[in-house]
Amino acid sequence: MKSNEIEKFLKKLGIKNDDLVMIHGDAIVAAQLSVNQYDNNPLSYFLNSLIEYFIPNGTLVVPTFTYCMNENDIFDKDENKSQVGLFSEEFRKKKNVIRSNHPMFSVGIVGKHTEKLTNYNLSDCFGKDSFFDKFTKLNGKIICLGCPLERITYIHYIEQKCKVHYRYIKDFNCAFKDNGKTKKIKISYYVRDLNKNASLDFKYYYPKIKKIIKESNFGRFKASAIDVKKLSKATKLILKNYPDILVGNKNGI
pLDDT value at residue 2: 55
- Compute CA 169 distance to the chain's CA centroid, rounded to the nearest angstrom: 20
Burial class (CB in 10 A: 0-12, 13-18, 19+), 230: middle
The candidate with the shortest Cα–Cα distance to 96, out of 106, 110, 77, is: 110
Q: With contact defined as beta carbons under 8 Å apart, do 145 and 26 qualify?
A: yes
For residue 29, the one-letter residue type is: V
- pLDDT at 41 (0 to 100): 85
pLDDT at 91: 97
Q: Would you say residue 37 has pLDDT above 70?
A: no
Determine the longest span between alpha carbons in the chain, in angstroms: 57
Cα torsion 237, 238, 241, 243 to 10°: value is -110
Range 215-237 average pLDDT: 95
Give residue 253's pLDDT.
Answer: 47
Asked whether the predicted pLDDT for residue 183 surpasses 50, the reply is: yes
Question: E-assigned strands of 146-253?
Answer: 167-178, 181-192, 213-218, 221-227
pTM for this model (two decimals) = 0.93
Render pLDDT for 115-125 as a digit per residue (tens, 0 to 9): 999 999 999 99
Determine the average pLDDT of the residues in 2-17: 86
In the β-sheet with 213-218, what is the strand arrangement from edge to edge? 98-99, 107-111, 59-63, 20-25, 141-145, 221-227, 213-218
DSSP state of 82: P
Answer yes or no: is pLDDT of 79 > 90. Answer: yes
Q: What is the pLDDT of residue 33?
A: 82
Separation between Cα atoms, residue 36 and residue 149, nearest integer Å: 32
Average pLDDT over residues 81-88: 96
d(CA 147, CA 219): 14
Q: What is the pLDDT of residue 31?
A: 87
How does residue 1 score in pLDDT terms, banded at 50, 70 and 90?
low
Q: How confident is the model at residue 38 (pLDDT cuts 50, 70, 90)?
A: very low
Domain boundaries, the chain: 5-241
Residue 143's SS3 state is: strand
Q: Using a pLDDT cut of 70, give the percent of the chain over it.
A: 95
